[in-house]
Chains A and B, each alone.
Chain A
Amino acid sequence: DTAVSQTPKYLVTQMGNDKSIKCEQNLGHDTMYWYKQDSKKFLKIMFSYNNKELIINETVPNRFSPKSPDKAHLNLHINSLELGDSAVYFCASSQEGKVGAFFGQGTRLTVV
């Protein structure tokens, strides 16, 4: 009964490939997020979605695109992967007006 789950947990891929990371939450929250944690453990918000509407885009490259088929899912698509995209990506969710997000376990992306 994991609250926020991400798949895959680990992803190793070559430069130039296109990949997706899936995220699902069963908490009934209406806002979901994607965060990137770099090698120095710095955590930065990338996107958030509220009721299928993108409300934050923290100037990430347009190779990254969030896609939300429904309120419980927010998938992250990455095109033309670059070495610098290697990081741990965290999905999170929260209820509108309550920013105390529940986080997924993270996806470690390694681009070779």
Chain B
Amino acid sequence: AQRVTQPEKLLSVFKGAPVELKCNYSYSGSPELFWYVQYSRQRLQLLLRHISRESIKGFTADLNKGETSFHLKKPFAQEEDSAMYYCALAWGYQKVTFGTGTKLQVIP
């Protein structure tokens, strides 16, 4: 069965420290993975997708098929990065499975 695991419910880091939000997936087919972010009292929005290989707001994520991971990274955390982050797996036809989310708290 398709599954997305985000092992950390809460991740606290100091401003300027590196950030890594973990995401592991389980899917037998070819995965399409995304990271979504939800800032306080705002809508969920797409942060980045693995097929784009882009960097948004300093965040990057590399798909590692061997480890079935899609960790989100940023070298230097900023206070405005504090938010809920969701990893998501698209599979089949228009099907999406979300992870349970990780709350990132950047301490000034």
CB of B49 within 8 A of CB of A100, answer yes
Q: Which residue of A lies closest to B97 (CB)?
A: A45
Query: Is B46 part of the contact surface with A, judged by Cβ < 8 Å?
Result: yes
CB of B44 within 8 A of CB of A48, answer no
Q: How large is the interface on A (under 10, 10 to 19, 20 to 34, 35 or more residues)?
A: 20 to 34
CB of B44 within 8 A of CB of A99, answer no
Partner of B98, one of A40, A43, A94, A104: A43
Distance of A15 from chain B, by nearest CB (Å)? 27
Docked pose: A92 CA to B90 CA in angstroms: 15
Q: How many residues on B have C-beta within 8 angstroms of the other chain's C-beta atoms?
A: 20
Q: Given A100-B49, A101-B46, A104-B43, A55 and B93 touching (CB < 8 A)?
A: yes
Q: Given A48-B94, A55-B94, A100 and B86 touching (CB < 8 A)?
A: no
- In the assembled complex, 28 residue pairs joining A and B whose CB atoms fall closer than 8 Å, in A order, are A4-B43, A31-B94, A33-B96, A40-B100, A41-B100, A41-B101, A41-B103, A43-B44, A43-B101, A45-B95, A50-B94, A55-B93, A55-B94, A56-B94, A92-B44, A94-B94, A99-B32, A99-B34, A100-B34, A100-B46, A100-B49, A101-B46, A101-B96, A102-B45, A103-B43, A103-B44, A103-B45, A104-B43
Q: Name A residues whose Cβ lies closer than 8 Å to a Cβ of B.
A: 4, 31, 33, 40-45, 48, 50, 55-56, 90, 92, 94, 96, 99-106
